[in-house]
């Protein structure tokens, strides 16, 4: 049986196919189709099956990571949406937390709400803080409001009532009414999207879910149809932001779960590969066409967060903690009004892309600079399948940047790379040094189409001593999809002060979540799978406003002391102190229901016999004003021998990426096909 993993990026769509019986792993890449991402997925699967002589009947698994929902929010391409909320809370989305997104930058503005004020309407209903009904909703009045919203052109309605996380009855009654009165409308209720207190984040997440819901449904319908048309008989699974996979039906109901799904797959894949090679302290460095995504792995475990912003809008969902900046291969380089060189965050994207891609692009990108400097192949990428033109990029850099600044073309191109390196390095420091971690203890795990291209410079600037580049790094997010299990998250707000008596209430709440998790797992009967329930308690010292997650192996009556000890240690690790005598309050109880999927073992990649056999050519590569142009050997990665070190400068080319090894670095391929780069200081 074959398993296929897919990752949809802004520039390319990546594919990895594994033979569960131990055959070779196949990698593939096609240009993305932003107007309909399912087209690139279907065509890429067909091409990969044909290239590897695999029958669609032999495919037993298709999983994919996508940023379709995220892009809809960023580009504001969701559907017109309405909000029904408790009287007096119409403007919660506008008021927010009354904090500026960037305190010292007056040009930065909060994003406009996704629901216009005239489509945010109030309902006469109320629950108290315990969930006890005070005023039942007048369903006749609600019906009038729903009809008005429908007639105004909305395609989706979000329902967010005060304290509904304690008692969902009012929201469910309104949802049922909408289904009867306006069955064509997409409906999201906050008690089912995120059953947590703090109405601003809960309402925002619910609105986002409704805003992207109808178009995400259409995308998933097209995807299912296209995959079926390929002859594949299994339903595709979708990777979600907390590091697992979900069936299509769940994603159609909760598309907000997929925000940052593609980058999260790369982090999970990095952690799994790191465990194979004995690396537990990792900084993931994923550079694609549009963005750089960095994350921290400590003790072999990815870091998670329960809240983040997507295009300025709060999303209250458990997700892999990833820091994203606008720096990628397609990042546009330009001179600003003051004549200073800027790189990013705007990107040329898949179309028209960099100037050198011969698709009509007119704006210089980071990729163009790397081609001019000889770091990227100046003739063709993707092992010859994608022609490029160095001359076009050279002329554009000379006319748009070098001549206005009085620089040579190579100095201007190197300046573009240096600015991008500085931006990427700041992102790495933000997830490490700024949280008290010693960078010297970490390995930089470089992937994405452009991660290995820039990792050497970034490592030098950050003071990192080790770099690991996995096999076919440009497809690692797709590979991460194949290394993940099915999972779904559940949460209930507790707000319970912890003691020997109240612990029983928390155990009872955990039992309710377990029942819901087991019911979901029962619907996902997959051969060779195991089930696991993982608990996390969001806790704080009584009187604090913030809280920290405390993972637990189980939530039983005999584990109170274990939880208290874990909380004190976790607080000391994060903030540098603990208050052993202070009361502890549990804010939320979280459950992650996991269905372990048989992943199969792929064969170790074939390696070459000697460095001379792996050498394709030599070419002039520019390594900065101090080193200048250097005659540099170019190696084909698939032919590099394992266990034989080689010194930089060197360039290693493969289908999905290019690895740069600087003159001060040494590299070696391990038995699993990973390149290990060490800096000599």
Report pLDDT for 449. Answer: 86
Q: What are 288's two structure tokens?
A: 């694609």
The verdict on 591 and 627 lying in the same domain is no
The verdict on 186 and 227 lying in the same domain is no
The verdict on 47 and 37 lying in the same domain is yes
Q: Which of 198, 227, 258 is the last residue of a domain?
A: 258
3-state secondary structure at position 645? coil
The verdict on 206 and 247 lying in the same domain is no
Evaluate whether residue 374 is within a structural domain: no
The verdict on 197 and 223 lying in the same domain is no
Report pLDDT for 527. Answer: 45
The verdict on 231 and 244 lying in the same domain is yes
Nearest Cα to 28, choosing from 1, 46, 55?
46
Evaluate whether residue 370 is within a structural domain: no
| The residue to which tokens 């084909």 are assigned | 636
Q: Is the pTM of this model over 0.75?
A: yes
Report pLDDT for 346. Answer: 83
**CATH number where 7 lies:** 3.30.420.40
Beta strands in 461-507 (DSSP E): 466-469, 486-497
Evaluate whether residue 170 is within a structural domain: yes
Whether the Cβ atoms of residue 296 and residue 303 lie closer than 8 Å to each other: yes
**CATH number where 522 lies:** 3.30.1490
The verdict on 560 and 639 lying in the same domain is no
Question: Average pLDDT of each block of 10 consecutive residues along the chain (681 residues)?
Answer: 87 87 85 88 95 93 87 86 97 86 76 94 95 95 96 97 96 97 96 93 96 94 94 92 88 88 86 93 91 91 84 87 85 91 83 88 94 95 88 96 96 96 93 83 93 95 94 90 90 94 95 92 64 93 92 92 95 89 95 82 73 94 94 95 93 93 94 91 62
Task: Give the residue ranges of DSSP H helices in 247-305.
Answer: 248-253, 261-277
Distance of alpha carbon 14 from alpha carbon 28, whole angstroms: 6
The verdict on 500 and 572 lying in the same domain is yes
Evaluate whether residue 281 is within a structural domain: no
Evaluate whether residue 407 is within a structural domain: no
Nearest Cα to 678, choosing from 455, 465, 438, 453?
465
Torsion of the alpha carbons at 369, 370, 376 and 379, rounded to the nearest 10? 10
Burial class (CB within 10 angstroms; exposed 0-12, middle 13-18, buried 19+) of 670: middle
Tell me which residue range forms the domain holding 43.
2-72+217-258
Cβ within 8 Å of residue 99, ≥6 positions away: none
The verdict on 501 and 633 lying in the same domain is no
Beta strands in 215-306 (DSSP E): 237-240, 244-247, 282-287, 292-298, 301-302, 304-305
**CATH number where 77 lies:** 3.40.1360
Report pLDDT for 681. Answer: 62
Distance of alpha carbon 677 from alpha carbon 660, whole angstroms: 10
The verdict on 195 and 83 lying in the same domain is yes
Evaluate whether residue 14 is within a structural domain: yes
Report pLDDT for 528. Answer: 45
The verdict on 85 and 24 lying in the same domain is no
Q: What DSSP character marks residue 402?
A: I
DSSP string, 68-134: HHHHHHHTT-S--EEEEEETT-TTHHHHTT---SSTT-TT--PPPPSS-GGGEEEES-EE-TTS-EE
Evaluate whether residue 619 is within a structural domain: yes
Evaluate whether residue 652 is within a structural domain: yes
The verdict on 592 and 625 lying in the same domain is no
Report pLDDT for 165. Answer: 94
* Count of domains for the chain: 4
| The residue to which tokens 């131990």 are assigned | 22
Q: Which of 216, 237, 268 is the last residue of a domain?
A: 216
Q: Which of 160, 186, 216 is the last residue of a domain?
A: 216
Whether the Cβ atoms of residue 3 and residue 20 lie closer than 8 Å to each other: yes
| The residue to which tokens 């540098």 are assigned | 576
Nearest Cα to 464, choosing from 476, 456, 472?
456
Burial class (CB within 10 angstroms; exposed 0-12, middle 13-18, buried 19+) of 105: exposed
């Amino acid at each position: 049986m074959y398993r296929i993993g897919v990752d949809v990026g802004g520039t390319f769509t990546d594919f990895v196919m594994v033979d569960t019986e131990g055959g070779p792993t196949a990698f593939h890449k096609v240009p993305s189709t932003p107007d309909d991402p399912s087209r690139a997925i279907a065509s890429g699967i067909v091409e990969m099956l044909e290239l590897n002589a695999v029958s669609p009947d032999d495919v037993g698994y298709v999983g994919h990571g996508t940023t379709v929902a995220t892009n809809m929010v960023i580009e504001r391409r969701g559907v017109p949406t309405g909000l029904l909320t408790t009287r007096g809370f119409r403007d919660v989305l506008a008021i927010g937390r009354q904090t500026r997104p960037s305190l010292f930058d007056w040009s930065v503005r909060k994003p406009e709400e996704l629901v216009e004020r005239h489509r945010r309407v109030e309902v006469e209903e109320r629950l108290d803080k315990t969930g006890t009904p005070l005023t039942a909703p007048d369903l006749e009045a609600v019906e009038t409001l729903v009809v008005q919203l429908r007639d105004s052109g909305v395609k989706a309605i979000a329902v967010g009532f005060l304290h509904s996380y304690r008692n969902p009855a009012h929201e469910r009654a309104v949802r049922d009414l909408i289904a009867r009165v306006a069955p064509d409308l997409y409906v999201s209720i906050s008690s089912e999207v995120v059953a947590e207190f703090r109405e601003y984040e809960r309402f925002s997440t619910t609105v986002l879910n409704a805003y992207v819901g109808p178009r995400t449904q259409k995308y998933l319908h097209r995807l299912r149809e296209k995959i079926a048309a390929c002859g594949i008989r299994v339903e595709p699974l979708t990777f979600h932001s907390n590091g697992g996979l979900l069936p299509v039906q769940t994603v159609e109901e909760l598309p907000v779960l997929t925000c940052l799904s593609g980058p999260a797959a790369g982090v999970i894949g990095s952690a799994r590969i790191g465990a194979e090679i004995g690396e537990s302290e990792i900084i993931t460095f994923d550079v694609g066409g549009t963005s750089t995504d960095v994350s921290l792995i400590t003790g072999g475990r990815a870091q998670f967060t329960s809240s983040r912003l997507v295009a300025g809008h709060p999303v209250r969902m458990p997700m892999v903690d990833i820091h994203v900046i606008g720096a990628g291969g397609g990042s546009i380089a330009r001179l600003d009004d003051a004549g200073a060189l800027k790189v990013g965050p705007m990107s040329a994207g898949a179309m028209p892309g960099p100037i050198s891609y011969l698709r009509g692009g007119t704006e210089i990108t980071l990729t163009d600079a790397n081609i001019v400097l000889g770091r990227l192949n100046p003739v063709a990428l993707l092992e010859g399948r994608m022609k490029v033109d160095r001359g076009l990029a050279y002329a554009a850099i000379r006319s748009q940047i070098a001549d206005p600044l009085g620089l040579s073309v190579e100095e201007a191109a190197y300046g573009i790379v240096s600015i991008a390196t500085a931006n990427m390095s700041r992102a790495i420091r933000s997830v490490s040094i700024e949280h008290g971690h010693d960078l010297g203890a970490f390995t930089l795990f470089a992937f994405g189409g452009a991660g290995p291209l820039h990792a050497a410079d970034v490592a030098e600037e950050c003071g990192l001593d080790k770099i690991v580049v996995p096999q076919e790094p440009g497809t690692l997010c797709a590979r991460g999809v194949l290394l993940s299990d099915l999972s779904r998250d559940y949460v209930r707000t507790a707000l319970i002060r912890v003691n020997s008596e109240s612990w029983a209430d928390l155990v009872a709440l955990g039992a309710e979540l377990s029942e819901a998790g087991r019911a979901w797992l029962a619907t996902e009967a997959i051969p060779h799978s195991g089930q696991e329930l993982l608990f996390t308690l969001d806790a704080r010292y009584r009187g604090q406003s913030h809280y920290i997650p405390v993972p637990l192996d189980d939530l039983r009556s005999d584990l109170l002391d274990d939880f208290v000890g874990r909380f004190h240690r976790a607080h000391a690790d994060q903030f540098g102190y603990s208050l052993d005598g202070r009361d502890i309050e549990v804010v939320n109880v979280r459950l992650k229901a996991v269905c372990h999927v048989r992943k199969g073992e792929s064969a170790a990649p074939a390696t070459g016999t000697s460095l001379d056999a792996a050498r394709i050519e030599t070419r002039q590569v520019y390594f900065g004003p101090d080193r200048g142009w250097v005659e540099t050997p170019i190696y084909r990665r698939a032919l590099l021998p394992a266990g034989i070190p080689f010194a930089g400068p060197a360039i290693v080319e493969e289908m999905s990426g290019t690895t740069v090894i600087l003159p001060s670095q040494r590299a070696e391929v391990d038995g699993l096909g990973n390149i290990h780069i060490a800096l000599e200081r």
